[in-house]
Structure 1
Amino acid sequence: MQIIPLSDITADLRDLVGGKAAGLGDLIRHGERVPPGFCITTETDLDALPEAEIIDAYQRLGGGPVAVRSSATAEDLPDASFAGQQDTLLDVTGATDLLAAIRACGQSLHGPRATAYRDAHHIDHDTVRMAVVVQQMIAPAVSGVLFTANPLTGCRTQMMVDAAPGPGTAVVDGATAADHYVLDGSDQPARGVLTPAHLADLHAAGVRIQGHAGSNQDIEWAIDEQDTLWVLQSRPITTLFPLPPATDKPQPRVYLEFGHVQGMLQPVTPMGMSTLRELIAAMLAPLGLKVEIVDIGGRLYGDLTDLARDRSARKRLVKLMAVDFGPRAQAAMEHVLADPRFAPLERGATRARTANPDALRTAARAVTGILRTLARPDAARTRLFHAVDRMRLASTAFDGPTTTTADRLRLVQTQDATDSHDEITWPVVAGILAASVPSHLLKGLVAPDEIQRVLGGMPHNVTIEMDLALWRIAERATEHRRLLLDTPPHRLALLHRQGRLPDIGLAAFLDSYGHRGVAEVDLGVPRWEEDPTPIFAMLANYLRLTDADQAPDRRFARAAATAEATLDGIATRARRRRPVRGRLAVFLLRRARELAGLREAGKFAGLYHLRERRRHLLLIGADLTAAALLEHPDDIMFLTLDEVHDAVHRGTDQRPTAAARKVVHHRELRRRTVPVALLSDGTDVETVLPAAPATGTALRGVGAAPGRVTGPARVVHDPATAHLEPGDILVAATTDPGWTPLFLTAAALVTDTGAIMAHGPTVAREYGIPAVICVPDATRRITTGQIITVDGATGTVTPHEATAPAVPEPSPTPSRG
């Protein structure tokens, strides 16, 4: 079958006609007014076009001007629209030009734009085939684009229209100034090229097309001289962040993204999501905060609506944002609290407040634990590390009588990873308070970067100890330098598992730290002991460091010495000018140096339990794979425990469920930006904040570790494959402890998001490298190789020169295709 009328195309013919033609056939079946036409299918060989049949079909259209459009099988996908990546030719007239246009469209499948786009979306080139659509040309009086959701803010209750006189290419190419309309269903005043009646028709068409497509759509349209509306094509809007889950609670609602506090913006597996919900709820409980954790796009969001509408709680929210969530979250929450829709409820509309015995007991334990820690920090540290060791030993006793798959599942379901240990919780909280309060007590007397210097070179941090242990392995491995530098990390990992590598001490390292990894709080992510590929990539980075003075252990020691000297200077100044507050601030800073490094200990200990829980789940997954209920053992991480229960006890085939979720998960892995705050209608709160004033060429963020460095940027999305040369400035969306070994060779750190007390900035301070966080779109605005200056004191990143991007940018196109 080589030629099919558009009116005969059904959804099951997608592989034969491509995405665009399948979409047009769907529009026609649902009664939309679409220019008539036909499709030359993927079965046609461009070198041997059925010319007579094509010319016959063309003449049946009237033989006048036509539009010739590409329609690839990997086009208009949920996460890849291919807008403008393949060719469209308009106003093609005559048989000779038509055949040439069809060949040109077919050949654009392998053009540089389409090839680069498929590479970026990890689409196999060999699986994609091209069909071509030929349609009667519409002579438009006005044309443009309709989005059934606001693509700038994500708001699903608004539609957006761009329109201009003449053909739509002027709008989609940006060749002319278009009239811009935002539709919310209300009457629109008359202005520009569209009348209120036109806008009402477009809004109604958007509602219809979105309804039968089942997703928000990007629609090209035209209105001819007879005032008739034509739909030229419709494709999914692929850039929208998913909506929050439906709820019957009062609207609107506001959700804050929690993952970046853990240095994690990648999506969480469904199995990991359930565990993280428990962990975050347990973390917030000592603070007196009860927050529902929801899954939006595989990310952890907390529903803060009730707190925002509570007269008492809302006063604490912005301060809480500043300490734990960073300035981006703080600015978003300030905007939400100023929104009349989130005004505090009248007292009668809220639940009567009664003393909560559990909260009072928690508060009493908190006060006792914090004061006890501040009084005797050495003893508190000893208790904490004993508690960590008990948790490690308890995890090794995780095994029970597991003679069957059901026994193993029962063990997993009954184990609780959220047990709170006062010996761990209150020393960590005391260290955070001791580090954060002095800046307020010394405001106007001490600069923020001085406080940050005092928090450098911090002892007792298990993550720092891990990084330095890996550095010592690199020092011992110098005789195997060429092997470790010249062999790809994944190959080294395979050789290690086969026992074919020289002994460099890696086995002992993995015994201590193998339960860790990137995105380690996600139960569904492999640990280093399962796949040490990232470790070998980091060792290679260390081996490139040849300047002994820049060795990580020396840098850490210098940072510690600078911290002590800075603290002595602050103490002299503060006691002289602020005798009471100054002495208290200095006392707290000294306690911070003894306690603040402990902040990683609780998470570090909890990871032992996650490792064992994951191990048991993978064994269950292997059993379910053997029973043909899962495709692969690790597919169990794309199920919930209830779904695993159904598979184990009822024999439910979970292969379709796991496969569908893996597709969504892998699509979300490619998402580079995640809203820090989201409204229930899909609005990304940051997109509606007032624009910051321009400040020259400098990119502005938040200084999180002092110092000033100039060097080449290295934009990294995956630490497992990162190649850092000594002196490179690490630029990342955010970082968690699994990234921190990269800090040993990085000259500075720049991130898109984060909080001053989060993992990345904390470790940067302790290594004495400058860090600027919360630089909007840093990973997009900075390119690898670009020379930049990072100034942790001023919170700025200044580009000096740019280099060509590693991947060529798509060239301009005559139309979006």
Structure 2
Amino acid sequence: MLVVPLAQATSRDLAGGKAAVLGELIRAGETVPDGFVVTTAAYRRGTIPRDEVAAAYARLGGGPVAVRSSATAEDLPGASFAGQHDTVLDVTDLDGVLAAIARCWESVRTPRAVAYREAHDLPEPSMAVLVQRMVTATTAGVLFTADPVTGCRTSMLVESAHGPGAGVVDGTAPVERHVPAGGTPLHALGRRLQERFASPQDAEWAVDAEGTLWLLQSRPITTLFPAPPPRDGKQPRIYVEFGHVQGMLRPVTPMGMSGLQQMIAAMMASLGVRAEIVDIGGRLYGDLSDLARHPSARKRLVKMMAVDFGPRAQAVMEHVLADPRFAPAPAPRHQQSKPALGTGLRAVTGILRALTSPAAARRRVLDAVDRLRLAAAVPDSVTTSEDRLAFVRADLPGTGASDARAADDLTWPIVAGLLAAALPAELLKGVATPAEIHTVLGGVPHNVTIEMDLALWRLARSAAPAHRDLLLGSSPADLAARHRIGDLPDIGLDEFLATYGHRGPAEADLGVPRWSEDPSGVFAAIANYLRVTDTDQAPDVRFARAAAAGETALRELSRRVRWRRPVRGTLAVFLLRRARALSGLREYGKFAGLYRLSAVRGQLLLIGSDLVDRGLLGEPSDVMFLTLDEAAEAVRAGADHRSLASDRRATHRAESRRRHVPAALLSDGTDVETLLARSTAGPATPRDGEASRDGEASRDAGPAPDGEGARGTGSARDAGSLRGVAASPGRVTGPARIVHDPAQARIEPGDILVVSTTDPAWTPLFLTAGALVSETGAVMAHGPTVAREYGLPAVISVRDATTLITDGQLITVDGAAGTVTPAAAEPGTARSDTAGTGVTTAA
């Protein structure tokens, strides 16, 4: 069929997304302007069916119409295509209709539409065209059935404007915003749309002179972060994002999620903390609702979050604890959890032993790491998929006495180092600044991640004379492919991977390749190292300089506190000395655990390969998009999961493009940080262009029909400094480099690394960077810790830094003040290279 009435539009493939939805709504009894659809069959044929269009236009009564694009890829849950394809309003004759149809067809290949599809990894669609009567409106606007800024699913938002309705959707007219009251026409419409489509909707509407409310479009709100899963009970719940603690803001694969949920819950339980780990949008969130309401636990909850979660999460929790809905209440007995007495005694003993003899503690840690490496090896008896399942399902080493000893030998020296690094700041308040303490903790030895970075630096320097052009002139992906087939000269990479190949980006996720499988990130780091030409900025020199500065600062601090605070000062200096001896060990816990994860991943891929051979999966890595139970079902019962794995892979790919991951969510979907922002800056406008559409609403718009007052029009963000948390002292000016994937990063010496989060696989980039800016993190997290080791200025917890800062922008990072400032905003900023590195300092 080339032309069909709008009321008969039922198929997205034939009528496109917009028309198919409006056809459904007409059949459901909604008031939608009449019209017809020139189908995708006509588009694929390549000629406009003039006679059929003329007849349909005549049946419509002629006169002014809106000619609207309706591509097959429009109005999808993950891609709205808002404003990407053309629409022509107020078309008054047949020739105009035909010309407008051609224009809609041509808009499929405009640069903006092509760029949008590439950004969303979507193929070119077919284009249907919707022709509808124009509505001569007195009022027009947009209805969101969920708040598009906060994400709250229980609050609607209306935008309307005086003047042409197009001004609302294209952002050219001032708009009024209000929450529609229950029982009003727009609220009732929103309820019906929400119930019909079972997801938050973004609907365009208009009211004509007779007071008729017309529905012009309804599509999913594509920018909302997924809501938490529904729970029983009337009280709201609070979910705090856990993934950034491990440097993971990208979604976790289903296989990785199940393992991480169990591991994190078990770790927290051992500390007497009960919290369910929930999958929201593929990210790890901890349900801290019961802790927030627990009469005693809530008193220490904010302080407990300082070490790993950082100030953004702490600010969120302070807001939640002040909310009457989270008032303290007695916890049910089954929810009360306490650490075992034996665990407490082992903790005290282990911490005191480590503080007493740091050298012996380090030896115990290294021995425990080696034992866990050996224990992770796959036995020769594991040969079938059933054997592999049993190996994967086995608990992590820790059931036997020797394994329990390994865990203690590894854990308590690390905890001792963290405590020794964290306590002096409180003991030395008023005597030493945070920046001075950070300097003392710079260049700390015995950090396996630093040792890894420096080993890679030595590899790059040794390879440079003979292979520099090859390593700089080829892409990391090409070099990795050649390495896998043995087509590269020996540069010492095999030896490096034998020690560190079980690592990689987002390495806590089973579904992510290790460096041993894909060394692209390693080759990217080598290329960055080869760009360092100033010997004074060589990573080993920078680390040695930071270590010397740390020792000097500790000696000076020791002299100062001796008379100003003799007791507390003496204790603080003792702890700082122990911190320099022990805090570098913190990376060994994860490093050792990754041996087991790497072995498990290898066995899962072999199971996946077996399922591919049996026709039950499309490729071996598809097994990572199943749960372990689903993989077992395929192995044992022959369940065909090809479609399931493909759908989940597509969802994972779409979620991987999301740049904003809320630090905390309420059970109604509210991004708690947006509430904090509103309390200080006023109401905000919708995110990511939600109000930018194709201008189809109507003409001659007036005030909103429901009568509520305007909620405000939002406010611009301050153009000055961005404020975060001081994490490593120093002040540097340089060009910003926005990096989302370390394997694709090109960092010139002195560039300022701006990231959402980091994990150990990112740290090789630190060796050439001038400074670090991160959207997440805590002062004692991986990234800031390694930054201090190198004397790299760092500011963390800078919300939306990768969005507010542009790539290449000249910025100044003040790691002591915790600010990031556009260089142009700083009077007196001089562009003077420091030792030829491209790093600049402020005059």
Shorter-chain TM-score above 0.5: yes
**Paired AA for residue 306 in structure 2:** A
Q: Is the 8 A contact 1:279 1:418 kept in 2?
A: no
Q: Which residue of 2 aligns with 1:338?
A: 322
Distance (Å, rounded) in 2 between the aligned partners of 1:530 and 1:417: 24
Distance (Å, rounded) in 2 between the aligned partners of 1:140 and 1:417: 70
- TM superposition shift of 1:330: 0.5
Q: Which residue of 2 aligns with 1:578?
A: 565
- TM superposition shift of 1:48: 3.2
Q: Is the 8 A contact 1:76 1:82 kept in 2?
A: yes
Distance (Å, rounded) in 1 between the aligned partners of 2:306 and 2:502: 31
SS class of match (2:482)? helix
SS class of match (2:205)? strand
Q: Is the 8 A contact 2:70 2:130 kept in 1?
A: yes
Quick check: 407-416 or 788-797, which moved more? 407-416
Report whether the alignment pairs 1:647 with 2:634. Answer: yes
Q: Which residue of 1 aligns with 2:39?
A: 41
- TM superposition shift of 1:250: 5.2
Q: 2:129 aligns with which of 125, 129, 132?
A: 132
Q: Is the 8 A contact 1:428 1:596 kept in 2?
A: yes
Report whether the alignment pairs 1:780 with 2:810. Answer: no
- TM superposition shift of 1:680: 0.5
Superposed CA offset, 1:416-451 (max 9, x none): 267760111111111110001000000111111111
Q: Which residue of 2 aligns with 1:71?
A: 70
SS class of match (2:820)? strand
Report whether the alignment pairs 1:608 with 2:592. Answer: no
Superposed CA offset, 1:664-715 (max 9, x none): 1111101101111110010010010155578761111111111000000110
- TM superposition shift of 1:662: 1.2
Q: Which residue of 2 aligns with 1:284?
A: 268
Distance (Å, rounded) in 2 between the aligned partners of 1:18 and 1:481: 53
Q: Is the 8 A contact 1:417 1:606 kept in 2?
A: no
Distance (Å, rounded) in 2 between the aligned partners of 1:330 and 1:747: 28
- TM superposition shift of 1:801: 4.8
Report whether the alignment pairs 1:237 with 2:209. Answer: no
Q: Which residue of 1 aligns with 2:287?
A: 303
SS class of match (1:234)? strand
Q: Which residue of 1 aligns with 2:374?
A: 393
**Paired AA for residue 428 in structure 2:** L
Distance (Å, rounded) in 2 between the aligned partners of 1:414 and 1:555: 43
Distance (Å, rounded) in 2 between the aligned partners of 1:794 and 1:262: 26
Q: 1:408 aligns with which of 384, 388, 406?
A: 388
Q: Which residue of 1 aligns with 2:697?
A: none
- TM superposition shift of 1:778: 0.6
- TM superposition shift of 1:234: 0.7
Q: Which residue of 1 aligns with 2:781?
A: 758
Aligned Cα root-mean-square deviation (Å)? 1.8
Q: Is the 8 A contact 2:274 2:335 kept in 1?
A: no
**Paired AA for residue 322 in structure 1:** A
Q: Which residue of 1 aligns with 2:5?
A: 5
Distance (Å, rounded) in 1 between the aligned partners of 2:555 and 2:656: 47
Q: 1:435 aligns with which of 417, 421, 425?
A: 421
Q: Which residue of 2 aligns with 1:378?
A: 359
Q: 1:151 aligns with which of 135, 148, 152?
A: 148
Q: 2:436 aligns with which of 450, 460, 474?
A: 450
Q: Which residue of 1 aligns with 2:469?
A: 482
Q: Which residue of 2 aligns with 1:118?
A: 117
Q: Which residue of 2 aligns with 1:260?
A: 244
**Paired AA for residue 26 in structure 2:** I
Distance verdict in 2 for CA 1:149–1:103, change over 3 Å: same
Distance (Å, rounded) in 2 between the aligned partners of 1:485 and 1:30: 62
Distance (Å, rounded) in 1 between the aligned partners of 2:718 and 2:129: 48
Distance (Å, rounded) in 1 between the aligned partners of 2:461 and 2:648: 43
Q: Which residue of 1 aligns with 2:522?
A: 535
**Paired AA for residue 370 in structure 1:** I
Q: Which residue of 2 aligns with 1:214?
A: 198
Distance (Å, rounded) in 1 between the aligned partners of 2:409 and 2:680: 44
Q: Is the 8 A contact 2:272 2:337 kept in 1?
A: no
Distance (Å, rounded) in 1 between the aligned partners of 2:167 and 2:219: 19
Q: 1:367 aligns with which of 348, 354, 358?
A: 348
**Paired AA for residue 262 in structure 2:** E
**Paired AA for residue 629 in structure 2:** D
Which has the higher relative contact order, 1 or 2, with Cα contacts under 8 A spaced 6 or more apart? 2
TM-score (norm 2): 0.90
Superposed CA offset, 1:697-753 (max 9, x none): 111111111100000011011111111111110101111111111111111000111
**Paired AA for residue 131 in structure 1:** A
Report whether the alignment pairs 1:700 with 2:700. Answer: no
Report whether the alignment pairs 1:160 with 2:171. Answer: no
Q: Is the 8 A contact 1:716 1:732 kept in 2?
A: yes
**Paired AA for residue 100 in structure 1:** A
- Can you give the 5+ residue segments of structure 1 that lack an aligned partner in the other structure? 188-196, 803-817
SS class of match (2:823)? strand
Superposed CA offset, 1:36-77 (max 9, x none): 111112233596322222122111111010011111222111
Distance (Å, rounded) in 1 between the aligned partners of 2:436 and 2:263: 34
SS class of match (1:689)? helix
**Paired AA for residue 313 in structure 1:** A
SS class of match (2:179)? strand
TM-score (norm 1): 0.93
Superposed CA offset, 1:606-640 (max 9, x none): 00000110111111111111111111111111111
Q: Is the 8 A contact 2:307 2:781 kept in 1?
A: no
Distance (Å, rounded) in 2 between the aligned partners of 1:353 and 1:411: 32
- TM superposition shift of 1:279: 2.1
Superposed CA offset, 1:341-396 (max 9, x none): 00001x4x64399995x522211111111111101111011001100000001112
- TM superposition shift of 1:212: 1.8
Report whether the alignment pairs 1:664 with 2:651. Answer: yes
Q: Which residue of 2 aligns with 1:468?
A: 454
Distance (Å, rounded) in 2 between the aligned partners of 1:301 and 1:402: 35
Quick check: 398-407 or 137-146, which moved more? 398-407
**Paired AA for residue 4 in structure 1:** V
Distance (Å, rounded) in 2 between the aligned partners of 1:418 and 1:167: 69
Report whether the alignment pairs 1:622 with 2:609. Answer: yes
Q: Which residue of 1 aligns with 2:756?
A: 733
- TM superposition shift of 1:107: 1.6
Distance (Å, rounded) in 2 between the aligned partners of 1:274 and 1:96: 60
Distance (Å, rounded) in 2 between the aligned partners of 1:728 and 1:72: 42
Q: Is the 8 A contact 1:706 1:792 kept in 2?
A: yes
| Pairing 1:348-363 to 2, within 5 Å after superposition | 350-351=332-333, 359-363=340-344
Distance (Å, rounded) in 2 between the aligned partners of 1:405 and 1:286: 33
Distance (Å, rounded) in 2 between the aligned partners of 1:136 and 1:426: 73
Report whether the alignment pairs 1:569 with 2:592. Answer: no
Q: 2:210 aligns with which of 209, 217, 226?
A: 226
**Paired AA for residue 774 in structure 1:** S
**Paired AA for residue 143 in structure 1:** A
Quick check: 271-280 or 678-687, which moved more? 271-280
Distance (Å, rounded) in 2 between the aligned partners of 1:682 and 1:627: 41
SS class of match (1:256)? strand
Q: Which residue of 2 aligns with 1:679?
A: 666
Distance (Å, rounded) in 2 between the aligned partners of 1:611 and 1:727: 34
- TM superposition shift of 1:548: 1.0
Q: Which residue of 2 aligns with 1:31?
A: 29
Report whether the alignment pairs 1:169 with 2:162. Answer: no
Distance (Å, rounded) in 1 between the aligned partners of 2:39 and 2:652: 32
- TM superposition shift of 1:140: 1.3
Distance (Å, rounded) in 2 between the aligned partners of 1:753 and 1:76: 32
- TM superposition shift of 1:167: 4.3
**Paired AA for residue 442 in structure 1:** L
Distance (Å, rounded) in 1 between the aligned partners of 2:96 and 2:397: 69
**Paired AA for residue 467 in structure 1:** D
**Paired AA for residue 172 in structure 2:** A
